[in-house]
Structure 1
């Protein structure tokens, strides 16, 4: 039997299926008789020594996590810098791990989290502490390198495509006397994966979305407005999907909210849909409606993709297996072996190939005119939104999501000064 404790932490923005990964991590570790602690609010909780004792969770609670959105143990947007710049924080983290006999550290997040897990593994090696660090993939943006896709994306993509199709039908019904242009804002700072997913809602020149704006393409306002007007004249209405990260020719974000940057160094974005709606109204005179789904995209567990759920569970199991096998500084990744029929499996990749790399949309996924997706993109995206994984529903007509009671273990170190 393996000796020691496993620490699991969630990082960054959560997804509809990150708790499914957490659920299978706990279950897989329990099957191996390994105790699991979970950091309360991610790496911040680890630094504060606020660690959840998952042995206090019932089997039903652990299973229930698999159909509950959000981050059951809490997450945070805190990025540790280099080992030199944030030496004190890394040493504090290592002290917490030592104090609780943590021999396996699983960090469930994206690019920056992979980088943190890699640095923690390097520090542990420097100090001669036996620690195995494993990154666990998660992001709705689907921009994680090496892995074919990322758990969390498929469900957000399904929500986006379904919502866009439904909205498009609404707009079409009212276009004669009401809304002519509808703008849907999708998450995606540097990579347009979610905006592309909206393209699954329809096929053909007259099917919504009529125009998709990708961060991989420079935004040309004059060309955009001309195309909107042309679609309205041809179809009677125009449905636009805009990624939050679209930029002008000078490299500035169209939707820079002026809120500075977060701890990850990311510019605070927001409002590209409202901005575009205003420009369309002012320049073309069309009645416009817009929407900013924001957190709805990543929290929509009620319409999760079955593929996404299965992959979220699979990477959790694989993370525990490779951690207990001593595979250090690695991440389980999704490998696609076939589009039709869709086949995939989990492989293991080194974190140094993943950390701080970003996967953008391939050029052949974006239509030549820059405003739509190609057949290649459809082949890639379609399997990821396939299948339904509905949560159980109660008599009140709402999903039976759980909110487990979290019990923290006793602290063994002096309080962290921050």
Structure 2
């Protein structure tokens, strides 16, 4: 018996999340005996709640294949998590009503740990209501903090952007350090996990090649130790390049910088670490500094995406559908490393409950003794994830990113107001 499939994207975007979407849709179209229509929710779980579903039947195979090159989220995303079942059961019951109205028997949520929690809760509600819903998680996050997987699709490309940017900036600063800027600071994403800061260590081909200083979200910031490390690098090389996690905390566990509060369930927007560090350096050491915030650039840079990352993102999308076709569900697709050199991997899966809202931080063994660099073990682990290029098509000197012409399926239920 066939049933329709709903795919949704969640949370912050990556350069390769649409490759996962491509894998999902192509795999579902290849199994018409199991899957009927393929829908995509507009703006993630919000679109599912408000019954805004894109019917993808009108999209050509070529248009779906082109998703592999498209950054951002082709169907829209959201920062909206379903709340506790006991207090917000009406949200889950509404979703089941929407699924039933459109004969949706399969739901795939493409996101991070919070999204896996939403998927796991929806799975349990479907079971309690007796609705035959099969749920699968497709991993995604540039923070690389998903548990039980070798890496998170999206991280490899963001890591490549950070490493390349740090290396190129180092050449620039070295050129001017004699009479101008001596310290450059790049602020990267990473609320509780410093994986992207660690990726900055890949800017050098061998340890010590560049005067890098990495600041990890996992390590409490100590100003005196930090300033001494900056001074040492400027003294030895004439300049210093710093890659700092936005989630830096002090010894009491408080964020060094908060950009703004958000109404999304006590979620706060971080930002300002680079500017704050620059001020400390200027005031205490007198060095001229420049700083930049990678922000959306690090997660949207499809033009410099990692081929490894792209292939893994696509494979995770396909694997989710193939597992559903085989009768499996209630799981998140994972990546399992088979070897470092050559880097070999395969897809696997774990129960949603084991990864829901669980964060995987940078291991202590990946941070060097000084606390401002990465170890050789970290290099072996990280380097394969940024390898390879897969350039998008260019036209008139810029990437050619044609968007899908999407149409919403007719609504069948009353309006629903979000909490």
Quick check: TM above 0.5? yes
Kept in 2, the 8 Å contact 1:121–1:328? The answer is no
Shift of 1:204: 5.4
Aligned ranges for residues 261-340 of structure 1 at < 5 Å? 261-263=262-264, 265-340=266-341
Q: How far, CA to CA, are the matches of 2:183 and 2:263 in structure 1?
A: 33
Paired residue for 2:411? 411
Paired residue for 1:91? 93
Q: How far, CA to CA, are the matches of 2:158 and 2:291 in structure 1?
A: 19
Aligned ranges for residues 130-209 of structure 1 at < 5 Å? 130-203=132-205, 206-208=208-210
Change (3 A) 1:214 1:7: same
Tell me which of 119, 128, 131 is aligned to 1:129.
131
Paired residue for 2:12? 13
The gaps in structure 1 that reach 5 residues or longer are: none
Kept in 2, the 8 Å contact 1:164–1:209? The answer is no
Change (3 A) 1:239 1:406: same
Q: How far, CA to CA, are the matches of 1:417 and 1:67 in structure 2?
A: 35
Q: How far, CA to CA, are the matches of 2:349 and 2:179 in structure 1?
A: 56
Kept in 2, the 8 Å contact 1:262–1:268? The answer is no
Shift of 1:400: 1.1
Paired residue for 1:53? 55
The gaps in structure 2 that reach 5 residues or longer are: none
- RMSD, matched Cα: 1.1
Kept in 2, the 8 Å contact 1:183–1:291? The answer is yes
Report the number of matched residues.
415
* More displaced stretch, 262-271 vs 180-189: 262-271
TM (norm. structure 1) is: 0.97
Provide, for residues 3-25 of structure 1, a one-character-per-residue CA deviation record: whole Å limited to 9, x for no partner.
Answer: 11000000000100000110111
Paired residue for 1:41? 43
Q: How far, CA to CA, are the matches of 1:213 and 1:340 in structure 2?
A: 28
Report the secondary structure of 2:394's partner residue.
coil
Paired residue for 2:350? 349
Shift of 1:264: 5.1
* More displaced stretch, 131-140 vs 222-231: 222-231
Shift of 1:266: 3.0
* More displaced stretch, 34-43 vs 259-268: 259-268
Q: How far, CA to CA, are the matches of 2:47 and 2:56 in structure 1?
A: 15
Change (3 A) 1:262 1:13: farther
Kept in 1, the 8 Å contact 2:8–2:40? The answer is yes
Kept in 1, the 8 Å contact 2:116–2:137? The answer is yes
Kept in 2, the 8 Å contact 1:201–1:209? The answer is no
Q: How far, CA to CA, are the matches of 2:332 and 2:31 in structure 1?
A: 20
Q: How far, CA to CA, are the matches of 2:332 and 2:192 in structure 1?
A: 22
Aligned ranges for residues 96-135 of structure 1 at < 5 Å? 96-135=98-137
Kept in 2, the 8 Å contact 1:104–1:324? The answer is no
Paired residue for 2:28? 29
Change (3 A) 1:324 1:151: same
Paired residue for 2:231? 229
Report the secondary structure of 1:60's partner residue.
helix
Kept in 1, the 8 Å contact 2:85–2:92? The answer is yes
Shift of 1:323: 1.7
Shift of 1:97: 0.6
* More displaced stretch, 71-80 vs 32-41: 32-41
Shift of 1:206: 4.4
Paired residue for 1:391? 392
* More displaced stretch, 217-226 vs 374-383: 217-226
Tell me which of 75, 78, 81 is aligned to 2:77.
75
Kept in 2, the 8 Å contact 1:10–1:41? The answer is yes
Kept in 1, the 8 Å contact 2:189–2:245? The answer is yes
Kept in 1, the 8 Å contact 2:306–2:386? The answer is yes
Shift of 1:265: 3.6
Report the secondary structure of 2:397's partner residue.
coil
Kept in 2, the 8 Å contact 1:11–1:43? The answer is yes
Kept in 2, the 8 Å contact 1:24–1:316? The answer is yes
Q: How far, CA to CA, are the matches of 2:8 and 2:272 in structure 1?
A: 31
